Amino acid sequence: MIKIAMADDHVIVRDGIKAVVERKGKDMRLVADFSNGKDLLEFAKKEGADVYLVDVSMPVLNGIETAYKLQKAQPSSKVIMLSMYDDRITVEKSLKAGAKGFVVKVSEADEILEAVKAVTEDKVFLSPSVKGYFENGLPGGKISRARRRKQLTPKEKEILQLIAEGYSSKRMAEEYGLSVNTIHVHRNNIMRKLNIHKQADLIRYAIKEGIAHI
């Protein structure tokens, strides 16, 4: 049985979700609901649930802070954010706070059940209206090597190859007619995009991905 706890300051929203879970939520049960994040956190510390549905905008403690504190207190818990808004900034803040799902409140009621099922299977669930924001990967999430490589510009791939082949920044600058500072900017961008922060690891990556042959 998947235990769900919820915090939303609108009674009509809580009642609506409660009805959907009771009527259609196979192997799901809403064990507690609150009007603010502070009370939800207190419940989490004492009893806890498998999935938390958290409204982004709440009094006392907003949803973003609630999600962050829940993840700190219970790293294994799954948080799904609920919001009237589907702007990119709100979604990104939610995911960076540790939420595994984001459901826009104007969505079909069954979407809540889909989201609960998805996050319990260690998947990320996003309402269709916000999925397009993250075609290049989720903020703070793991991105495949192939996708990371696609993020590199042709120039960055060339510089990565030269780095792996042992070229110094000065020599690369001479090759391309650029300043050493510009080469450093390219190098930093490559490391940021690939999430690699040591030159030795960068060289290994370039060799393994066939960008450089040594």
pLDDT at residue number 139: 56
HSE of 143, CA atoms in CB hemisphere, 13 A: 18
Residues 62-116: tens digit of each pLDDT: 999 999 999 888 888 899 999 988 888 888 889 888 899 999 987 787 899 999 9
Residue 135, Cβ density class (10 Å: 0-12 exposed, 13-18 middle, ≥19 buried)? exposed
DSSP 8-state symbol, 134: G
On whether the CB atoms of residues 93 and 44 are closer than 8 A, the answer is no
Percent of the chain with pLDDT over 70: 91
If DSSP states are collapsed to H, E and C, what string results for 32-53?
Answer: EEECCHHHHHHHHHHCCCCEEE
pLDDT at residue number 137: 57
pLDDT at residue number 149: 55
pLDDT at residue number 142: 47
Mean of pLDDT over the chain: 86
Residue 186, Cβ density class (10 Å: 0-12 exposed, 13-18 middle, ≥19 buried)? buried
> Dmax over Cα atoms in the chain, in whole Å?
69
Least confident range of 4-13, 29-38, 138-147: 138-147
- 80 token code pair: 């799904």
Residues 119-161: tens digit of each pLDDT: 999 889 998 888 777 655 555 444 445 555 557 788 888 899 9
Contacts of 68 (CB under 8 A, 6+ apart): 97, 98
Residue 160, Cβ density class (10 Å: 0-12 exposed, 13-18 middle, ≥19 buried)? buried
User: Which of the residue ranges 6-10, 91-95, 128-132, 186-190 has the most confident prediction, judged by mean pLDDT?
Assistant: 6-10
pLDDT at residue number 65: 92
Q: Strand, helix or coil at 62?
A: coil
The whole-number average pLDDT for the span 194-203 is 84
Please report the domains of the chain, with CATH numbers, ordered by start residue. Answer: 2-134 (3.40.50.2300), 145-208 (1.10.10.10)
Residue written as tokens 């802070």?
65
